[in-house]
Chains A and B, each alone.
Chain A
Amino acid sequence: MNDLISVIIPVKNGSKYIEQAINGILNQKMNVEIIVVDDCSADNTIEIAQNYGCKIVKHETSKGQVAGKNSGLKVAEGKYILFHDHDDIMMEGALQKLYEEFEPDFMAVEAKVQDWYSPDLSEEERAKTLIKQEPYWGLFTGAILIKKEVFDSVGYFSEATQTGEIIEWQSKMDSNNFKVKKIDFVSTLRRIHSTNFGKTNQKTEFKNYAAILRAKLKKNNP
């Protein structure tokens, strides 16, 4: 049996898709604990997660998905961590492949994700929502298996921004000379639907990115 893997799912009002996400993880047939961090859902997200035996963490006030990752980390018991979106679906055998690709020199293993139109997305919405046609690296969720000890060194995510935490994390990984092994396969289907968290105002998102990049440059060139 593999070392325990903690799969952390931050979610808010995710009842529509979370069951498929949980099933996708359970179908991996790996030794996992699924931690669902509920950010004040108004629907029955928690009930669904409880029915599947997930560990539940509830936020008293809505704090966002970055804080959700941190809350999950605080209760995670696994030797490895994988963040997962509530609406995505992990490919069969992906978790085992990520796990088996670990080598002593690496602190994380990264696969690609593939955008995928949710079946319930209308033709009209598909037409106005451009997605990547090819699999790509660079997304945290569902794609990177990380040794938990990494977070003992680099700390939790900054909750000052709501996006771009992977940029900050990558910067900290570089600072600590922690290596990430990239594997060219698709681990997760990233569902594109009408209310993706990622569908935000581009200027706000880039402003978050700029703040992280600025902090990184100032740290490297004080």
Chain B
Amino acid sequence: MTYYKPNDSKMFADITDGMAIIINSETGVYYGFNELGTEVYSNLINGVSSEDIINKLKPWNNNAENNFKEFMDFILKNEIMLVSNDGNSNAEIEINEETAKVCDYILKADEYLDAQELLLADPIHEVKEEEGWSPEKSSLNENKEDVARREAKMVQ
């Protein structure tokens, strides 16, 4: 079985509203997946094997194996994930067929270079968060449930 893990040393990943955004903190390049790609990425993070994912996709797409290989080639080439020795044998694969259908059952990943200067411009991150200038939470127009929901999806 083949497993992958996030490359936490240089990549920041955030999954919200069905769309993964991964930022390379060293280069300022960022990556986006379509909804199906995001679900596959989430499953890989949860320790699902690539074989199980391919088996899930195959009934929907005759070219699923090649498409998955291209997707993973992109992810590995850009060091978004690394090959892992360990998976999670108890992890249940979760890919919604409706999501896959919306994406025509195709995994897509793209690279974006349009914010490099901006993403790299503010890199002072040496002290505790509470020392920064934070507004009163009540002024941010967001409720606790929204914050909790987003944080739960945040890749640690």
Interface residues of A (CB under 8 A from B): 12, 39, 61-65, 67, 128-132, 136-139, 159-160, 162-164, 166-167, 170, 174, 192, 194-207, 209-211, 213-214, 217-218
Contact = CB atoms under 8 A, between A and B. Distances in A.
A167 B118 contact: yes
Given A137-B117, A214-B21, 16 more contacts: A61-B138, A62-B136, A63-B136, A64-B133, A130-B123, A138-B122, A139-B121, A159-B140, A166-B121, A195-B131, A200-B125, A204-B129, A207-B14, A213-B115, A214-B16, A217-B21
A146 to B, nearest CB: 15
B103 interface: no
Contacts of A64: 133-135, 139-140
Interface residues of B, number: 39
A209 B119 contact: yes
Given A159-B140, A207-B154, A210-B16, A138 B121 contact: yes
A195 B124 CA distance: 11
Nearest to A170: B118
B23 A214 contact: no
7 contacts: A129-B124, A160-B142, A167-B115, A167-B119, A197-B132, A210-B12, A213-B32
B126 interface: yes
Contacts of A163: 122
Contacts of A162: 133-135
Nearest to B31: A213
Interface in B2-29: 12, 14, 16-17, 19, 21, 23, 25
A201 B125 contact: yes
Contacts of B139: 61-64, 67, 159
B91 to A, nearest CB: 24
Interface string B60-100: 00000000000000000000000000000000000000000
A212 B112 CA distance: 13
Contacts of B118: 138, 164, 166-167, 170
B124 A198 contact: yes
Nearest to A40: B136
A160 B16 CA distance: 15
Contacts of A197: 132-133
A174 to B, nearest CB: 8
A128 B128 CA distance: 13
A206 B136 contact: no
Contact of A199 (B30, B125, B138, B140): B125
B127 interface: yes
Interface in B35-83: none
B135 A63 contact: yes
A203 B48 CA distance: 25
B152 interface: no
Given A160-B140, A167-B115, A199-B132, A205 B122 contact: yes
A185 to B, nearest CB: 16
Contacts of A61: 136, 138-139
B131 A136 contact: no
A13 B150 CA distance: 31
A61 B140 CA distance: 11
Contacts of B25: 202, 206
B120 interface: yes
B141 interface: yes
A217 B35 CA distance: 13
